[in-house]
Chain A
Amino acid sequence: ITEVCGAKRVGYFGPAQFYIALKLIAAAQSGFPVRIESIKNELPLPRFMALKNDTEVRYGTPAEFHGVKFQVPHATLEKNSYKRTDEGDKQEPKSPLMSPICSPPASPSTYQRIPLSYGYGKARSGLEQQHGAPYEVKHSTHQQDGPSSGNYGAKSALTCSTPSRSLSVEREQQDSSTQYSDDPWRITEEQRDYYINQFRSLQPDLSAFISGSVAKNFFTKSKLPIPELSHIWELSDVDCDGALTLPEFCAAFHLVVARKNGYQLPETLPETLLPEYLQAVCLKPTRDCALFDSYSEPLPSSQQTRDCSRTEKSSAEEVPDNSALLQDGKKDDKQAVKVSTTLKTIPKEFQHLTVKAAAQEPYALRARPRSRSYSSTSIEDAMKKGEEPPTPPPRPQKSHSRASSLDLNKIFQQNTQAVRSGWLPPPPPALPPRPSVSQTEQPSEVELHPQMNRTPLQAEENSSAKKEVVLAQPPSKPARRKLRTEAQGLETPELSPTINVTSSLPAVKPHLPVQKQSSKQKKAIQTAIRKNKEANAVLARLNSELQQQLKEVHKERIALETQLEQLRPVTVL
């Protein structure tokens, strides 16, 4: 395309060449051959993966760059250790266009392109084109036509011209990789891993903060001017506490990277860099890391962790390292102690990741075989000139069941250490386990109405007692019972149904032998997970119901207050 439109000949893209090039791209995307005549056709606008900041600013006409049709072949990158030349080829049709698009200020040394390559395929190719230096092995070939077809053939069965092929290939990858878009403010997996490792180098505990001064020194090494760093800090320190949590740090780092590569800093923090977003999306690995880091000893049952490693997927974790660590020792009994000790360190934010765990499991396995060598000392050199490349961190451990540990976390944060001694599925939050549930339940349900609040708690106690004693118990049973009692407690103050329930409870209790010792730990934990999840759901419902009650009470109060105001004698000024 470059050749055809004449840019190669004149050595630059003037408006004419540029327009022709765009037309040719549209032609190619529509399946027409890349020739001058094609531009005479009535073509739809070419579709590009637009870098929103730059393209919107720079291009009003002739082509509108719409959202995300192309996908940057990140998955390709990662899966193939950057050895594939087709990536370079794919970028080729875009790269001539990217050269005017990409912001100039990036300095022409190789290291700066590296972070970009992780993040922004287009930008990377554009920069390469600008600086003219082949980047790595993968970009060594720059032919557009013949050789690329061979490469593409391997990837897909298309026979169209390069751009359309790249389009469909990228579409494939788009299906497989849901996260990768052209959004420069979205953090990719590699970047995230890198940031996490940097965080770890500054602060070993991933759940704690990096203080302001430490962060300042760190970011000053990036040689950005202080006002810009100040602005970056302003953007990323969302809670304005003078310290950076992991998501804040990732956002800040990402902004630094972006700035260094020429992107203008946004006025407000982009949505994909918000801490909540980052935590939800990015922090599965870090949570594991946190768990791992706080564990100084090997983890409990390898099988379980292997399950977890399979389910939990995060793109960064490498399975070989996990298995190596897993084999270090399986001490089941220590699990309880470790879990409880570590849980304290995990901040509460990580808890809602349990909910997301289930959602994320489906695409967990997506990008598993990263044969990339993460070390990439070039990156570190790139980012901090002259700074020692951080030593590769200990491989984040796929700890034992993430969900259960986090559930425990939520619970333990409110409960006492008393529960620690026997690690059983913990009671739901806010209540220590009470052995004599049946007795307490009956009287409480007698005085239901004034104590409506307590009854749900009693119900929780029920469930907690259940959980405590039985691990192998089918989870539906206690949940059902709990739901029943709770429903009754909240809605009707009648005694008879509840008494039925309570009478059934003691009956069930003797059935529950002390199975905890006999059941396998893994099974127990999985059961615990299920139960905890159900407990979560039930408690959430409870919570919403209580909230509604609270609202009603508020309304009443307000009504009463207005009445009072009216009745009060008017004071004369």
Chain B
Amino acid sequence: ARQCDLLCPQNYPLYIRSVPTENELKFHYTVHTSLDVVDEKISAMGKALVDQRELYLGLLYPTEDYKVYGYVTNSKVKFVMVVDSSNTALRDNEIRSMFRKLHNSYTDIMCNPFYNPGDRIHSRAFDTMVNSMMMQVC
């Protein structure tokens, strides 16, 4: 079970996708609570140096059932991913690569002049990408 969230700088969600779709509320709640951790990490790294590594926030916090990973872009758009703890095969590198893919797709969406930043994301290409990614892991 996983969930993938895209949140804007004002911390409202731009995109939420869960696989499988039950327990979605729980995931939403988890993501919301993890935002605090994200903010904490962002403020902690006050350097001007923007690096791919620093974009990736890593394991935000592990709970009893699942782990939460975070990633923030240069424009303070946050990606949060919630993964089952039972999924031990999921390595850090894979998470990083998934975030990278998310980031790339997100930039593609931004290139679309009809997309206003802050809108919910309805792009079908983005959907398919996220779906394939999530399927791949589960």
Contact = CB atoms under 8 A, between A and B. Distances in A.
Interface string B106-135: 011011111100000011110000000000
Nearest to A229: B114
A213 B124 contact: no
B124 A212 contact: no
* Interface size classification for chain A: 10 to 19
B124 A233 contact: no
Which label, helix, strand, loop or mixed, suits the secondary structure of the A interface?
Answer: helix
Contacts of A267: 124
Interface string A225-251: 011011101100100111000000000
A155 interface: no
Contact of A240 (B111, B122, B124): B111
Contacts of B111: 212, 237, 240-242
Nearest to A241: B111
A240 B123 contact: no
A231 B107 CA distance: 15
A229 B112 CA distance: 10
Interface residues of B, number: 12
A242 B124 contact: no
Contacts of B125: 234
Interface string A19-49: 0000000000000000000000000000000
A101 B110 CA distance: 37
A229 B123 CA distance: 11
Contacts of B123: 230-231, 234
A215 interface: yes
A235 B110 CA distance: 14
Contacts of A237: 111-112
Contacts of B107: 240
> Which of A215, A229, A233: most chain B Cβ within 10 A?
A233
Interface string B14-25: 000000000000
A231 B114 CA distance: 9
A240 B108 contact: yes
Given A227-B122, A267-B124, A233 B108 contact: no
A5 to B, nearest CB: 41
Contacts of B110: 242
A43 B78 CA distance: 64
A216 interface: yes
Contacts of B108: 240
A416 B16 CA distance: 52
A242 B115 CA distance: 11
Nearest to B128: A267
A226 B113 contact: no
Contacts of A242: 110-113
A341 to B, nearest CB: 31
B124 A234 contact: yes
Contacts of B113: 212-213, 215-216, 233, 242
Contacts of B124: 231, 234, 267
Nearest to A232: B114
A226 B112 contact: no
A227 B115 CA distance: 9
Contacts of B115: 230
Interface string B32-52: 000000000000000000000
Interface of A: 212-213, 215-216, 219, 226-227, 229-231, 233-234, 237, 240-242, 267
Given A230-B115, A242-B112, A242-B113, 17 more contacts: A212-B111, A212-B112, A213-B113, A219-B114, A230-B114, A230-B122, A231-B123, A233-B112, A233-B114, A234-B123, A234-B124, A237-B111, A237-B112, A240-B107, A240-B108, A241-B111, A242-B110
Interface of B: 107-108, 110-115, 122-125
9 contacts: A213-B113, A219-B114, A226-B114, A230-B115, A233-B112, A234-B125, A240-B111, A242-B110, A267-B124
